[in-house]
Amino acid sequence: MKDLKKRLKQGETLNGCWLNLGSSVTAEIVGLAGFDWVLIDLEHGAGTEQDVLHQLQAIQSTPAAPLVRVESHALQRIHRVLDLGAEGVMCPRINDLEEARQAVAGWRYPPEGKRGVAKMVRTTQFGKNFTAYQQGAKDNILGIVQIETEEVLNHLDGIAGLDGVDVLFIGPADLSMALGIFGQFDHPRFNEAVKATADAAERAGKATGILLFNPDDYPIYQAMGIRMIASGSDATFVANGAQTMVSKLAQYRDSSHPTDNS
């Protein structure tokens, strides 16, 4: 474990990004880049649970802590990726307190939760370290619920107050879509929702997170108390790098003039 949960509790601001190509190679490259955490995306990403295993293995040798966004708060989806070695789980589109409770139950062992018990899995070093892992899971596994719907804004204090919810993570694309102002991140309604989320988290002693489409907005959200900040993805980095190179080569090609030998 790379102490991500402890660092958040100590008040650090932690930077991360998405992994949505399903590639162990890009996972390792991004993990080595210097992010505090990386999130493997099973909700929208190209990879499957089989790819998650290889990505987690690749990330292990990097400084970044590996998180996984599952497709839903269904119990089986959550404990599956935890058994593979995820250090935290993000559950998307949580609407109310009951759904948040179900998510927490998925990442906690009985009697506090409903996570299935398996010893011969990667996260326990295939049984070698089960006791220590099980005893430390509550303190080490980072539980993240996403704030992405209009309904959830009516339940922020209750969700933030749940023991086991560590981060309220704002999904700006879905949230702005739900509010009828898609992509308008400077709209008053969006900013009110962000502030309400951050305030609820602060009252409960929890952290708030957000995914930034524009990294230059970082100071705005950090000033609001948001301490788990992501921007970019492996797909974005590859696409931007490729487009930059194509543009640069095209400039040289278009600026050159072949010699007229006639």
- Active-site positions? 44
Grouping H, G, I as helix, E, B as strand and the rest as coil, residue 91 is strand
- Label the pairing between strands 88-91 and 142-147: parallel
CA distances from 51 to 23, 56, 61, 71 (A): 7, 9, 17, 15
CB 141 within 8 A of CB 117: no
Angle of CA points 175, 177, 179, to nearest 5°: 70
Backbone angles phi, psi at 18, to 5 degrees: -90, 150
Contact between 161 and 106 under an 8 Å Cβ cutoff? The reply is no
Of 10, 56, 44, 3, the C-alpha closest to 233 is 44
Query: CA triplet 25, 72, 227: central angle to 5 degrees?
Result: 70
